[in-house]
A and B are shown apart, each in its own frame.
Chain A
């Protein structure tokens, strides 16, 4: 809060100090790399194209908590009738849904040229809330199955094939359950979507408390499946065991996988596979507060940030994230090596088809509880 006030004061000072200079305040949730991305890469790029404009980046902290802080500030300013001093905000899915519901955001996507480049479901649906028009995805994180091609010649293409593979190759597949990080949670959510019946309903709602009864068979199968897998300690634990050759396959976060590979913590031969019907991932969103004074500038900033060039160079090449816009728009923008790295294992069409959102909030909790009750205990 104090930091926010300070930033606001600083911004006011800068605006009044140089009458013709404009300041664009960007508030971002997430880790320090998010702030660095805007401060060191995107900000200077935007300033070059808009002389006289200064981009100020403020970080509000990692995880949903960081997004919550942005929400609280916008909410307080709305109640006080004051204009918001953030011009662009970068938030997670849960907070974006709340902000749209409480009319804290501006509908801007159709007014920017890159608005039509987005194809993924998550641009319109944030964990069950309709956010179409209010947000542009900055990037997507995705989960996928990592495998060691020395041990697995023909990796499974789908959840049913994976189940069959594990039956034939006991203790060669590892995941971290649901208490050791999100890659295991994503695997379980994908399992329920694959075997539990109505997958579309999990993603879009409406919520039906009786739906969890239909997962009994899927959960019983998962319990049986677990007899033949290794439960690893955490997201990094799965990667560790892959690295040491103790397991041949396991679900991982794609950006983490590539970063480890680049740092030499995984053999360069390791590959990824995004199995059907799909595994979950999550985006972060660019949005514009409803009451900003810099509406036009903010829209231009987001248009630049979601342009194919910036998505290719900044999001994909520098940070190993998947682009927020449809990946096929990036073809030709990346040098061959970077393109090969991100898309050789999971081509853009597969990503668009099999990259799923997490289930809506209430289903998500039901899945985790059903897992604890029926599978883990």
Chain B
């Protein structure tokens, strides 16, 4: 292995300094603050408080983010599959034109739209009632955990689909055609031929979505009430109402741990592939 040259180090120094100052230092600081008690000693007291106050919210956050990630995966596979294997030109064209739109809408705007769309007497239910599909008495509000999941999936599907459809477009068409010629249905081709070839891309897209959804504050804040709610809302509340950075940092560390687990799964998977290659 070549020795790192001095100029090489100099070249990456600005980038390193940036990561150090804007990422590593704040990360280290919040980690340290999370494990420090009011007297300045090392302790787990902040985690005790975080657990005592927010254990339900930790589980709720995990449930929301995992469910949203799985649904995002399913919907993205369906859309990317139609884009790749679809045989109805107008449907493929319409889908291709439409699916990217939510990418350009910020979470907070999406949340605001969902607030009026999914409400008990909101746009969606009113439309169903007007169409005669539903009686007014059957209308229920979706502005709870379901609203958060719907908003997350709606917002993240285009992102994952974009990556997935690109990957599907670049695989060898001959494999697909071979399968079709031998009489496999399109669903079977998608599941047994196309998906295994793009699994790596799908995993990357889902891991990134998972981490993004874990960090969104506006959607749980606006779409659903506060009991239970996601960890981001609890962190904002600890800081805004009490200036209690210690407990907020402890909740932050719990979030890192959740995101870290997912990153670890992803890294292990890609290292295995590299070793195989």
Contact = CB atoms under 8 A, between A and B. Distances in A.
Interface of A: 176-180, 226, 230-234, 237, 240-241, 244-246, 365, 368-369, 372-373, 376-377
B225 A180 contact: yes
Closest 9 CB pairs of A and B: A231-B225, A177-B226, A179-B226, A244-B121, A246-B120, A179-B237, A372-B53, A231-B227, A376-B227
8 contacts: A176-B226, A177-B227, A230-B141, A233-B225, A246-B120, A368-B241, A376-B56, A377-B57
Which residue, of B223, B237, B242, has the highest number of chain A Cβ atoms within 10 A?
B237
B226 A231 contact: yes
A244 B225 contact: no
Contacts of A237: 225
Given A178-B226, A179-B226, A376-B226, A233 B54 contact: no
B115 interface: yes
Contacts of A372: 53-54
B229 interface: yes
Interface size class of chain B, counting residues whose CB lies under 8 Å from the partner chain: 20 to 34
A230 B53 contact: no
Which residue, of B55, B120, B226, has the highest number of chain A Cβ atoms within 10 A?
B226
Contacts of B225: 176-177, 180, 230-233, 237
B129 interface: no
B274 interface: no
Contact of A246 (B121, B224, B227): B121
A376 B122 CA distance: 27
Contact of B242 (A177, A232, A246, A365): A365
B126 to A, nearest CB: 10
B85 interface: no
A233 B224 contact: yes
Nearest to A243: B121
Nearest to B120: A246
A244 B57 contact: no
B226 A373 contact: no
B121 A245 contact: yes
Nearest to B236: A179
Nearest to B222: A233
B120 A180 contact: no
A244 B53 contact: no
A377 B221 contact: no
B143 interface: yes
Contact of B119 (A177, A231, A246): A246
A176 B224 CA distance: 10
A179 B233 contact: yes
Given A246-B121, A372-B53, 10 more contacts: A176-B226, A177-B226, A178-B226, A179-B229, A230-B141, A231-B225, A232-B225, A240-B119, A246-B120, A377-B53
Given A178-B226, A233-B225, A377 B121 contact: no
Contacts of B237: 179
A230 to B, nearest CB: 7
B246 to A, nearest CB: 14
Nearest to B221: A233
B226 A180 contact: yes
B87 interface: no
B103 to A, nearest CB: 25
B150 to A, nearest CB: 15
B56 to A, nearest CB: 5
B138 to A, nearest CB: 14
A376 B238 CA distance: 14
A246 B118 CA distance: 12
Contacts of B53: 369, 372-373, 376-377
Given A244-B121, A246-B121, A376 B115 contact: no
Interface in B233-254: 233-234, 237, 241-242
Contact of A244 (B120, B226, B241): B120
B52 interface: yes
B166 interface: no
Interface in B126-142: 141
B228 interface: yes
Nearest to A244: B121
Given A177-B225, A233-B224, A376-B226, A246 B52 contact: no
Interface string B58-95: 00000000000000000000000000000000000000
A274 B57 CA distance: 33
A373 B119 contact: no
A180 B229 CA distance: 11
Nearest to B240: A179
Contacts of B229: 179
Interface in B211-234: 221-229, 233-234
Interface string B107-119: 0000000010001
Contact of B56 (A231, A233, A241, A377): A377
Contacts of B119: 240-241, 244, 246
Contacts of A179: 226, 229, 233-234, 237, 241
A246 B141 contact: yes
A313 to B, nearest CB: 36
A257 B226 CA distance: 22
Contact of A376 (B121, B141, B228): B228
A177 B54 CA distance: 14
Contacts of B226: 176-180, 231, 233, 376
A369 B222 CA distance: 23
Contact of A226 (B55, B120, B222, B227): B227
A260 to B, nearest CB: 16
